Amino acid sequence: MTDQTTITPETAHEGLLDDWMPRRELAGIIGVSADTLKRWETRRIGPPCIRIGRKVLYRRGAVRDWLLEQENRKTAGRGRSGR
């Protein structure tokens, strides 16, 4: 006997946005304001995001990658002085 789950229009979207977070949530997590994230988006220096209407979403994996990139950029810029 197999477990057959019926997908209905009401349940089809469940889990679809699990890996995404809104701007305010990300701002709270990384300790900057939502306005700062908005400025970074305009200047293309912040984590990648998508827009759905007025809603701005960040994929958690892309934010992790962006943070690692920032870390690597900082350590690469130290040069030989070790400071």
Cβ atoms of 24 and 61 within 8 Å: the answer is no
> Averaged over 52-69, what is the pLDDT?
97
Which residue segments constitute the domains of the chain, with CATH numbers given? 20-76 (1.10.10)
Q: Residues with Cβ < 8 Å from 61, sequence gap 6 or more? A: 19
d(CA 39, CA 8): 40
Q: Residues with Cβ < 8 Å from 54, sequence gap 6 or more? A: none
Note the pLDDT of residue 19.
96
Note the pLDDT of residue 79.
63
> Averaged over 66-71, what is the pLDDT?
95
pTM > 0.85: no
